[in-house]
Chain A
């Protein structure tokens, strides 16, 4: 390729005296040949195209002006069955047929090609010579057009060829296509004003006819018309405008229902404007009169109305705004209690303070509380008591006799249901719907939205105070799922589950000695043999017999009452795991880990020894790890238990017979409870946001779905918390925007689709919204067409405050 160009250059520079326009013609010829655009090489147009335009480009120079020549073509669909039969139909027929077919479209259609000519004239492929500087000089335009004409003829080009002329702002193009007998000229006029003759249909029709200048009478001209009206007063379409929902803050009208209903949707109308098109698709020139003095055209009578909507890009969505305000807190690492100036008095400032030491302020505050309502505290926060109390009763409904908002009877940590609402943000850890974490998080989000950070901090403070009170008075926290922390639920919920475990344990163990004596009593009465045994060897802490299994010494084997492993929240488990990982993975570390983990093994062994006096390790193993027990010899240890340095043997050797009730607690409820309370009080602002976001996002997702947002189902893994929140918040924002838009589209279009004919109800609705009359059209468009003996003749005009007229006229170029 390069070589060819070199030869070309040498040829022209060295041996000829060709003029510049001969060089231009030769250059155009060369490119058209190279692109295989002559009719003999070009493939016929095919039936199906994708919507993609493909382009080839070359630079062309003429008299110091540079041009870009592009070949634009729609990409054919590749898998059409076979090459179309080489029909008799010529390239001209193709061009004319497409031109005729395109007259049902209007000029403002967008077909994705770089220039509007393809849409105006129904072209599937075309050439465009585009000058870098505007081509204004008339004689220059003529010179270039004739060069194009000559090159076109020499190559016998099969593709219409256009030249962009006039100023760049003007959509003005000149184009040609010809074969042996006929020539099609494509002309365009684009002016910033409307000439009198062209301002109405009858003027355009006579212009069209004079352009064709047919020697014989023409058939009636067929016309399509579209009048477009811009409906700018978008609020006239009843837009559901919500009163701003922070009115729950007003004391008089406090309504928890208003509080719990998260706001949703756009504050302002997502609709910018609507464009109404009144369309007459097809009528003969005499059917409608539209002249300079009189017009029949009444848009209300138009057979078809379509609407296209212009929506605002940036819609402020209220739900996402609430979420955003919490998300914005994530980066704040100062203590939340700093906001209230309470960090010092709560003992949170000096990190060296022992966390188990209950801060003095708190007990004082709690003691100051009157009766059952514990919420009157010395501290005066920004939220007035009139508002604070109902909010606290909403989160702790069991604190009043006539609780209006009890928690649901069954709380579920459900994420696995297939319901639609669980699909949006399904990867966010959940907490029971309408449980305490849920209510607290939504309340705090609303308080943050309405009153800012001091409100959030104040309520968080009151929340932790109430938890402190409940721990001290052994009152379970309501609205939390029973049992050990569930790792499927969010961390805040796990912490509250753990606190409830502590409270429960404290309730049970309030008389630790009473508990164990009861045990002993139970054991004595159950066990007949106990009488015979020496007091110091008396069995204690038996749960039940293990089938009819006996010890090696022949006595029945009893399963002891044991301590449950300490319940832990996910952050504690992560800490444990990290600690173990840090030890490394060699043999020594492994041994160390076994020792760390043997606390509960030792406890079980001691309980076993207490319940089964005289038992050996093989008896313990018989119960605990039966596959390491061998029946030989009345019971013996399996190989694994005989290995030297065995932690099982070591633990057995140091284990003393102590029933679970008298052992050191594996789970120290006081310490754990104080830790939970400290954890919650000493969170940074960002830390609290992190605790609240899972429930807020979940509540938001459910709200969005209930408002008709579409659920996207995505699964994510291995992403940190922060990213998970960001992804979820974005999903909700998109869902919210989309819901706003589609709601707004429905308001205007009803059952009809955008760009498709409106149904009768839609026309009435739109007309009513416009007050029964339409404004002046912003755009009028006419397509005029007729077929004479040489082919289709087409002219189109759009009239707004400017005027564009395009025409494609076919003429015979051979004299008969």
Chain B
């Protein structure tokens, strides 16, 4: 991408003031509220209708966690069936997934298992997942009980939250929890492989991104 790219790139380079970078993905059926959820978190705003996402888009938010600056690159995906191939290509390298359904839409809940299969097929083995039932402000139109959500999450071995992007319920919590789970997993894998630390020689945790590394998640 030529025109205008250079300026943006500089801005982005200045942005690279962080200790870790996590790539997160929000996935789930069409119109369960993924984009609204992301805008609520990143911009603290809510618009009842966003243009249906074309393909894939992202937002960046930097948070502090355990005295570390964690840059979150959050990818928002189109939920339509036709976009599956395009979006699953971005699964690789994602450290965390927010798998979202709409509590007022049975079909979106029934698709959760499919989405989990997609994650298993296309992502890293140790990518972390949180199940989210969105639009919990619309109690009158609810068709999926919180209990069913919880049971499914338990069955899948993931954490579960009901959220509302509109009323700003649990939005921040979900992201923070996901970041924590990823951090825990990271230190776990470091503990289990002391040889890596010994041979690291760089005095930093291996999962830590050196600043300005353009390809931080490459694991072959």
A residues lining the B interface (CB < 8 Å): 416, 427-429, 487, 490-491, 562, 564-565, 568, 570, 573-574, 577-585, 589-590, 593-594, 596-598, 600-601, 604, 624-628, 638-641, 643, 645-648, 694, 713-721, 723-724, 726-727, 730-731, 734
Contact = CB atoms under 8 A, between A and B. Distances in A.
A697 to B, nearest CB: 10
B60 A719 contact: no
A624 B80 contact: yes
A585 B58 contact: yes
B211 to A, nearest CB: 14
Given A643-B49, A715-B125, A718-B207, A577 B54 contact: no
Given A570-B92, A715-B125, A582 B54 contact: no
Nearest to A582: B9
B208 to A, nearest CB: 8
Nearest to B22: A718
A628 B54 contact: no
A627 B101 CA distance: 13
A414 to B, nearest CB: 13
Interface stretch (B137-145, B154-162, B163-171, B185-193): B185-193
B8 A574 contact: no
A647 B53 CA distance: 9
Contact of B12 (A584, A601, A716, A730): A584
A807 to B, nearest CB: 46
Contact of A627 (B9, B30, B215): B30
9 contacts: A416-B125, A490-B220, A585-B59, A594-B53, A594-B57, A718-B209, A718-B219, A720-B213, A721-B218
Nearest to A626: B30
B206 A639 contact: no
B134 interface: no
Question: Which secondary structure dominates chain B's binding surface?
Answer: loop
B1 A583 contact: yes
B219 A719 contact: yes
Contacts of B55: 593-594, 596-598, 600-601
A584 B11 contact: yes
Nearest to A597: B55
B12 A581 contact: yes
A723 B92 contact: no
B218 A574 contact: yes
Given A643-B51, A715-B126, A564 B11 contact: no
Given A715-B189, A716-B193, A600 B206 contact: no
B199 A727 contact: yes
B54 A647 contact: yes
B213 A584 contact: no
Nearest to A641: B52
A717 B51 contact: no
Given A568-B89, A574-B215, 15 more contacts: A487-B89, A573-B92, A577-B90, A584-B12, A604-B82, A625-B31, A627-B105, A647-B51, A714-B196, A716-B206, A718-B219, A719-B207, A723-B206, A726-B199, A727-B196
B50 A640 contact: yes
B90 A719 contact: no
A581 B73 contact: yes
B5 A714 contact: no
B126 A717 contact: yes
Contact of B54 (A416, A579, A583, A598): A598
Nearest to B75: A577
Given A716-B219, A720-B215, A639 B49 contact: yes
A565 B85 contact: yes
Interface of B: 1, 5, 8-9, 11-12, 29-31, 42, 48-60, 73, 80, 82, 85-86, 89-90, 92, 95, 105, 122, 124-126, 186, 189, 192-193, 195-196, 199, 206-209, 213-220
B10 to A, nearest CB: 10
Contacts of B80: 624-625
Nearest to A565: B85
A775 B59 CA distance: 78
Contacts of B82: 562, 600, 604, 624
A560 to B, nearest CB: 11
B31 A717 contact: no
A598 B83 CA distance: 11
Contacts of B195: 714, 727, 730-731, 734
Contacts of B218: 574, 720-721
A654 to B, nearest CB: 14
A578 B59 contact: no
Contact of A717 (B73, B105, B186): B186
Contacts of B219: 427, 716-719, 721, 724
Nearest to B35: A640
Nearest to B122: A487
A639 B207 contact: no
A628 B30 contact: yes
Contacts of B208: 718
A562 B83 CA distance: 13
B88 to A, nearest CB: 9
B123 to A, nearest CB: 9
Contacts of B54: 594, 597-598, 601, 647-648
A650 to B, nearest CB: 10
Nearest to B89: A573
A578 B214 contact: yes
B107 to A, nearest CB: 9
Name the 3 nearest CB pairs between A and B, nearest first. A597-B55, A714-B193, A718-B207
A625 B199 contact: no
B86 A597 contact: yes
A582 B10 CA distance: 9
B150 to A, nearest CB: 25
Most interface-central of B29, B52, B57, B207 (chain A CB within 10 A):
B52
Contacts of B48: 639
B187 to A, nearest CB: 12
Given A597-B56, A730-B199, A429 B220 contact: yes
B199 A582 contact: no
Contact of B8 (A577, A584, A639): A584
A582 B12 contact: yes
Given A490-B220, A573-B89, A719-B219, A583 B5 contact: yes
A581 B29 CA distance: 24
Nearest to A648: B52
A416 B85 CA distance: 22
Contacts of A594: 51, 53-55, 57
A433 B59 CA distance: 40
Contacts of A639: 48-49
Nearest to B84: A565
Residue among A565, A577, A580, A626 with most chain B CB within 10 A: A577
A718 B51 contact: no
A647 B55 CA distance: 11
A622 to B, nearest CB: 12
A391 B186 CA distance: 44
Nearest to B206: A719
A579 B29 CA distance: 26
Contacts of A731: 195
A487 B92 contact: yes
A625 B214 CA distance: 35
A590 B60 CA distance: 12
A583 B12 CA distance: 9
B180 to A, nearest CB: 16
Contact of A593 (B30, B49, B57): B57
A628 B52 contact: yes
Contact of B58 (A574, A580, A647, A724): A580
A581 B12 CA distance: 8
Nearest to A491: B220
A715 B56 CA distance: 29
A427 B220 CA distance: 7
B209 A625 contact: no
A646 B31 contact: no
Of the candidates B9, B54, B80, the one having the most CB atoms from chain A within 10 angstroms of its own CB is B54
Contacts of A589: 8
Contacts of B8: 582-584, 589
